[in-house]
């Protein structure tokens, strides 16, 4: 009996065979050629990483030199920690808090900078004026901005402020 195998079937069989071979080749153990990356601590704004080893042959990441614990690339990354502000200064890197006391009243000036004109809804007793508001420099404090705000204990003014109006203080001098 003469059996005819359709040509397309041969192609399919060949394709499956190649696939299987490919899979076998993939799983075949090989000598990893590992590159070590030392651990790097994450900072307030920059990501760090754990110590890891990378094999450029198979593209895998490992958390141990013996390459027994595989990790993903994402797992090697330590996310940036973000600033921790205390009294409007980051306790970790010393950067000034870009966000001032919430609720302050501002006025946009002709020179595209801001002036603080009043305490607004702010209830803090220590007022912190930011150097930047809405992406623009805060350069002045208006006349009588904090006049009669007797509950205030302090007002911190950034270097960006070059002009302080009359009676901006809580008590006239």
Shortest distance in whole angstroms from residue 62 CB to Zn ion: 9
DSSP-based three-state secondary structure for 74: helix
Minimum distance of Zn ion from residue 11's CB (angstroms): 33
Instruction: Report in angstroms how near the CB of residue 171 gets to Zn ion at its nearest.
Output: 35
Q: Which of 42, 48, 50, 55 binds Zn ion (CB under 5 A)?
A: 55
Select the span of 29-37, 68-76, 121-129, 146-154 touching Zn ion (CB under 5 A).
29-37
Does residue 57 interact with Zn ion by CB under 5 A? yes
Counting contacts by CB under 5 A, is residue 90 touching Zn ion? yes
- Burial call 85-123: b when 16+ CB within 10 Å, e when fewer: beebbbeeeeebbeebbeebebeebeeebbbbbbbeebe
Tokens 């307030």 correspond to: 44
Binding site for Zn ion (CB under 5 A): 32, 44, 55, 57-58, 83, 90, 92-93, 95
């Amino acid at each position: 009996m003469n059996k005819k195998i359709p040509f397309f079937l041969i192609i399919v069989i060949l394709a499956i065979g190649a696939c299987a071979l490919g899979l076998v080749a993939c799983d075949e153990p090989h000598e990893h050629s590992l590159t070590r990356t030392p651990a790097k601590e994450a900072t307030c704004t920059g990501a760090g990483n754990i110590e890891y080893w990378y094999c450029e042959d198979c593209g895998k990441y490992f958390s141990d030199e013996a390459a027994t614990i595989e990790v993903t690339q994402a797992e090697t990354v330590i996310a940036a920690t973000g600033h921790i502000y205390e009294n409007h200064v980051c306790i970790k890197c010393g950067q000034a808090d870009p966000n001032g006391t919430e609720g302050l009243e501002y006025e946009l000036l002709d020179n595209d900078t801001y002036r603080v004109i009043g305490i607004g809804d702010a209830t803090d007793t220590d007022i912190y004026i930011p150097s930047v508001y809405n992406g623009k420099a805060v350069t002045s404090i208006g006349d009588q901005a904090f006049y009669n705000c007797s509950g205030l204990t302090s007002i911190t003014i950034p270097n960006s402020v070059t002009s302080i109006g009359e009676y901006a203080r809580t008590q006239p001098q």
